[in-house]
Amino acid sequence: VASDRLSNPPHLALSAEKTSRPFVVDNTPPQVGRLKIEQLPEGRIVVSGELEDATSPLKKAEYSIDSGEWLVIFPTDGIFDSKKESFRFATEALSQGEHTLVIRATDFRNNVGTGKAVVQLKSHK
């Protein structure tokens, strides 16, 4: 219902009504879960986990280390086409010490969800 009743005197006010077909409103962000991190001897880490959205298929995923550039993650099956996807990737070599890893997932309705892990890398020897 649209009305201009609040902006006009009662005898000049107009209103109209239209009923649309049903449509889905999706405001639920994807969830990042089951994060597992393995350190490789040369200072790289292997990250695996799952992405899931309650309503829409997933569209893309990315990761960033220590607030750096966002890098693309591909799902294990090679294509984002489901509400639930698993992933596994290896990073470039990182320096020893603490690093923050953030995973960002986006669904087809452009809702964004994130997951975070703090990684403590030991000596690469």
With 90 as the cut, is the pLDDT of residue 20 above it?
A: yes
With 70 as the cut, is the pLDDT of residue 105 above it?
A: yes
The residue-averaged pLDDT of 83-101 equals: 96
Sign of the C-alpha dihedral, residues 68, 70, 74, 80?
positive
pTM: predicted TM-score of the whole model, two decimal places? 0.80
Phi, psi of 115 (to 5 degrees): -140, 155
- Report pLDDT for 125: 58
Residue 23: which pLDDT band, with cuts at 50, 70 and 90?
A: confident
Which residues have a Cβ under 8 Å from the Cβ of 110 and sit 6 or more positions away?
59
Tens digits of residue pLDDT in 2-13: 999 999 999 999
For every residue of 14-81, DSSP letters joined together read -EE---PPP-----PPPEEEEEEEEE-TTS-EEEEEEEE-SSS-EEEEEEEETT---EEE-BTTSS--
